[in-house]
Structure formats: C-alpha cells, structure tokens
Amino acid sequence: MNRFAIKAGLGACVLGASVLIPAQVSAEPAATATGTELSGMTVFLDPGHQGSSEGHDLAQQVNDGRGNTKDCQTSGMTSLGGVPEHTINWNVSQLVKSSLESLGAKVVLSRQDDTGWGGCVDERARAASESNADVAVSIHADSTAQGEDASKHGFHMIIPSLPIPDEKADAAQSGGGLEASKMMRDAYKSDGFVPANYAGVNDGLQTRADVAGPALTQVPLVFVEMGNGSNKEDSAQLEGTDGQLKHAITITTGIVTYLLTGSESAPAEELAAAPAATTEPEASEDSASSTTTTTPKATPKSAAPDSAQFSELMEMLAPLLEVEGLDGLQDLVNDKNLGLVSDLASTLMSVITGAGGN
C-alpha cells in the first residue's frame, strides 16, 4: 500500500495542524470525514518506567507470569545526551495518544504523568488486561552499555516465549499480540528504521521468556524497543523532538494497521525463526540496561523511501517545535480543528481499507 499516505495522514493527525498532503495522497479517493474512524476501539499505552519511585521499593518481588518473581521496576536507561528513558517514552506516548484520539479511539494510559509513580510491571499488565483494549503497546528504549556503544543499534519488538502459563495471556500473545508485533515491526522497517543487530534479534523480533509484561497481559501486546540509547545515532533520534515525532508516527501506523486489518489470530511460524534470548539481561521493562557480549551480526540496510517527505514535514514544523516543543503539538488537537483532522484521517482510512492492509 502507499506507506507515505499512511505516514502523512497519521502525521497530520498527531499534529492536528494544517500540514499539506502530497499529491500522491490527494489522488486517493477520500471517504466522508467522520472523525470517528476508530470509534469503539480501545488502545492501552504503557510509557515504560516512571518519573519518580519515591516511597516505593523497586526491588519488591512481583509475579513474573511464569511461576517466579522479579523486581517490581527499575528506573530505565539514560541516553547519551542525559535524557531519561521514562521521559522519552512519555513524550512519544503522548503524541501517539493524540493521534489515536483524533481518529476516535479511546486511549488508556498506564501512568498519568512523567513525574510520579506509575506502578510495578505486574500492575501495568493487570491494568492493560482490565482495560479490555483491542491492543496494548508498551513503549521503551533499550541500552547496551553505561557509556557509548557504537557497534549495537536498531529497534526491535520483544515477543514472549510460548506457551505462557496463563491461558488467556497465551491466547492473546500467540494470536493478536504476535500479529500486531509483526505489523509494528513492518511499520518500522517501512519507515526506514533498521532492526537491531544484537541480543538475538532476528529481523526486528526478539523472543524472550524473562519479560513479565507479555506473560501477564491478557490482551494483545506489542513491546517496542525504539532504539539503543547507548548508540550515538539512535540516542540522538530518541532525544530529539523530530526523532520522537517520527517514532510516534511509526508506532501509530503500526497500531492503526493492526486495528483496521488485523485478525483475531496469527500463525506462529516466526516464533521458531526468532531465536530465544533467555540468557540475555533484562529488557528495559525493568532494567536500566541490557548489556550483552553477543557478536554483532550483519544488519540489512533498509532504505528510507519517504525521508525526503519527512524532512519537508519537519522543515514546516521546525518553528513551532522550537517555540512550543512537543507539548505545543499536542495542544493543537482540539475541538476547533477536529474537522481538519477528520478530513485527513478519512483519507488515511480510505487508503488503508482500499489497499487491504500493510
């Protein structure tokens, strides 16, 4: 399908601003604008980690979903530029939330701000399950060293080893969770992001038995590691407003593609192809780093066919970003401009439904 049509439409929804849609998008037949394209659908967003653990014991042992226990939570990584992971995750999640809500979806957050406590990993999984969301997305950034690590880079999705002891969690993650994770992986690759070249990641997927969230969540879950905060290039993108925006657009693309084209089950053939990494350190779900001695494998280079269009979009937005930052972009989505957002969203919907998926 026309990937830039999706990205441009979603970018407009994220921003809620008067962004010009390129000619190839306007050429697509547009449906009647409703502003309720995702009406009736619920998305649970988990911005990984939290701003403060004051008054809480991070080492408190909680259920890991596989008959054992693990630490409640950790503070997460810090990028090379000194930006804490919880803030990166929060900023990206807020942009995704604005985009999804402008399309009519209900969005439930695991934590309500970036300054306080957001719950242990088992509490977040329980909140996701109780939300009855159509899909849950846990947003994280990885780390492989305390300092710079130039050799390891890229994004990946964490897939739980199957079977999961809890039958409902097993059904959710072996079906919709796996399918949604693949669609998110595909969205990342299509937007020019490179799959990780470390920790047993195979084409953007990493199978793990030591991450509690997927083993405890009873709705389809996507666990995103946006990049390696120890890598100079990845870190710069994670820290910057333009990079966070690009991640948000891609994550929203993956979510919307799954919500509109996904099925209730998915084949598990890629589970066998993606090697388990149970001997690796914890993921950023509850670990400040995941240092590994894995020998880097050759990483296929993905082209970025839409980089010129994205650069043009960022050039238009640069003055607003400099003055208002990400919060200013979020504030643009309101009742007064919802009609514009709906027009752009309907173009997106017609492209997706007309092309039959990703």
Give the three-state DSSP class for 78: strand
CB distance 43 to 139 below 8 Å: no
Q: Which of 52, 115, 10, 120 is nearest to 351 (CA)?
A: 10
Of the candidates 85, 101, 179, 225, the residue annotated as catalytic is 225
Q: How many CA within 13 A on the CB side of residue 78? A: 7
Q: State how far the Cα of 315 lies from the Cα of 308, in Å rounded to an integer.
A: 11
Give the three-state DSSP class for 142: strand
Q: State how far the Cα of 1 lies from the Cα of 24, in Å rounded to an integer.
A: 12
The residue assigned the tokens 């697509």 is: 28
Question: Per DSSP, what are the bridge partners of residue 208?
Answer: 160
Give me the amino acid identity at 40: G
Q: For residue 263, give both structure tokens.
A: 């099925």
CB distance 9 to 347 below 8 Å: yes
Contacts for 210 with CB less than 8 Å, ≥ 6 apart: 64, 70, 278, 280, 282, 283
Q: For residue 291, give both structure tokens.
A: 């240092």
Give the three-state DSSP class for 129: helix
Ordered DSSP codes for 186-209: HHHHHTTPPBP-STT-BTTEEEES
Terminus-to-terminus CA distance in the chain, angstroms? 6
Give the three-state DSSP class for 333: coil
> What does residue 50 show for φ and ψ, rounded to 5 degrees?
-155, 160
CB distance 229 to 141 below 8 Å: yes
Asked if 225 is an active-site residue, the reply is: yes
Q: State how far the Cα of 357 lies from the Cα of 262, in Å rounded to an integer.
A: 8
Catalytic site residues?
225
